[in-house]
Amino acid sequence: MNVKNYLDSTYLKTPQQEGISEKEDINIVNGFVQEAIEEGFKLVMIRPNRVKLAKKIITAAHSKVSVGTVIGFPEGTYSLEQKLTEAQQAINDGADDLDFVCNYQAFKNGNINLVKYEILEGTKLGLSHHKIVKWIIEVAALNGEQIIKLSALIKNVIIANFKEECYSSVFVKSSTGFYKTKNGLPNGTTITSIKMMLENASPLPVKAAGGVKTYEEAIELIRLGVKRIGTSSAKAIANGQVVNGDY
């Protein structure tokens, strides 16, 4: 098993969060994308404003590395119009994967129709341009029952509105990696949450993101059935090193 085929190498911090300049951020993105090309990772996951740059580097290198970006990130409370506008721009800039943050707050508040409609319209936009679409449910913000219900809701919207050949292109994803938890609780992937997602999102694939810190954890998740793993430490994990950090 080549774990690199499952890794979405991720850099999602803004220059403000890192305390660096725009120029320094661009330099980091350059190095980050070059590393993904050299290591043969599945994908680079970056902020929308860096998609065009990443695509240019990858195209120039004649590499097969895909470019993914996040939509409505990290809160998920953007309006549908804002999410679709952001997604369309990412498509125009060359993104291959669109990772939407589901409006899990609306889901928790019982506004199920809003959530269903954004899943329908966001997926429709992505698939109409032959893109991979992922819906981030933010497991650290949900209890077990909510993880089960939201995973099933996404699955049911897709099954009701799209052909079977589309299912493999729509993922349910665990986490943004940016959710702030209390008392040191995990802010991303756990084996328990992933098992619930796998059981209730199937036949849709699942992406584990946030909290994967070792090669062994990555392999365990893959054996459970996860198809993608998002991590900001892809090289370290692939090389069997233990990493620190939330994502």
Annotated catalytic residues are: 99, 173, 207
First vs last C-alpha separation in the chain: 23
Can you tell me which residue has the tokens 């994502």? 247
Residues ≥6 apart with Cβ < 8 Å to 154: 102, 119, 135, 137, 170, 172, 201, 204
Dist. CA 215–CA 115, nearest whole Å: 34
Dist. CA 7–CA 2, nearest whole Å: 10
Q: Reduced to 3 states, what is the DSSP secondary structure of residue 44?
A: strand
Q: Reduced to 3 states, what is the DSSP secondary structure of residue 221?
A: helix
Cβ 208 vs Cβ 223: under 8 Å: no
